[in-house]
Amino acid sequence: MTRLSVNINKIALIRNSRGEDKPNLIQFAKDCESFGAQGITVHPRPDERHIRFDDLAPLKEIVSTEFNIEGYPSQKFIDKVCHVKPHQVTLVPDPPGALTSSEGWDTQEHKSMLTDVIDHFHSHDIRVSLFLDADPAAVSYAKYTGTDRIEFYTGDYAKTYYSDREAAITDHVRAAKEASIQDLGVNAGHDLNLDNLYYYVSSIPNLLEVSIGHALVGDALYFGIENTIKMYLHQINRKL
């Protein structure tokens, strides 16, 4: 079964815009889980424009499913994550000023650094996932870093889906098969939505988790968060 992890960055962005505590991030995370979400994802950035580093510990206290922290492995990020000890950390190659994640790691070029960072997280009993493009070679090299999982960047898939969904999914299927050969768990995220989610989930073998935030929160403005989570779960779980 593919799990749905709700990225709550956009909720923190709304909260921060007024300098207050509305909407309350902790209550929103609790509600997402009560409505069926099987995980909560956050991605603190250096400028803390949405999720703040001081949000991490309170969220870890209340998340009852799976807590996933994404981010670039700066020393500050590493220290904060190891202190909080989430269930999973997803390492993303974002430069400090990036608006959003837009590409995966070059696992050959950064193998030594990633191996050291992953070993450090493992010493704190934290599962590690690497954010990758859908490239079998990148998956193959990822194996040598010691990572537990990989997360496919699905932004390009989402862009191509409406014009040629078969072309959009081809590299992801090939890369997922390589992950199976390398005994790596597969996650996916970025721009997945109610239109393209079912086709992706039904095409990718052994997909463990999808992380969705921007589209899901946008849909919740129309349908409400409870209905929206149920709609996303329906797309994940409906039969072929």
Which residue in 43, 151, 178, 209 is the catalytic one?
43
Residue 43 is a catalytic residue: yes
Instruction: Work out the number of other CB atoms within 10 angstroms of the CB of residue 230.
Output: 13
- CA-CA distance, 71 to 45, in Å (whole number)? 7
- CA-CA distance, 9 to 25, in Å (whole number)? 9
What is residue 49's three-state secondary structure? coil
Residue 70 is a catalytic residue: yes
Residue type, 194: L
- CA-CA distance, 175 to 150, in Å (whole number)? 10
Which residue in 70, 151, 178, 209 is the catalytic one?
70
Eight-state DSSP code of residue 46: T
First to last CA, the chain: 14
- CA-CA distance, 195 to 70, in Å (whole number)? 25
Would the CA dihedral through 30, 31, 32, 35 be positive or negative? Answer: positive
Which residue in 33, 178, 190, 209 is the catalytic one?
190
212 close to 5: Cβ distance less than 8 angstroms: yes
Catalytic residue list: 43, 70, 190
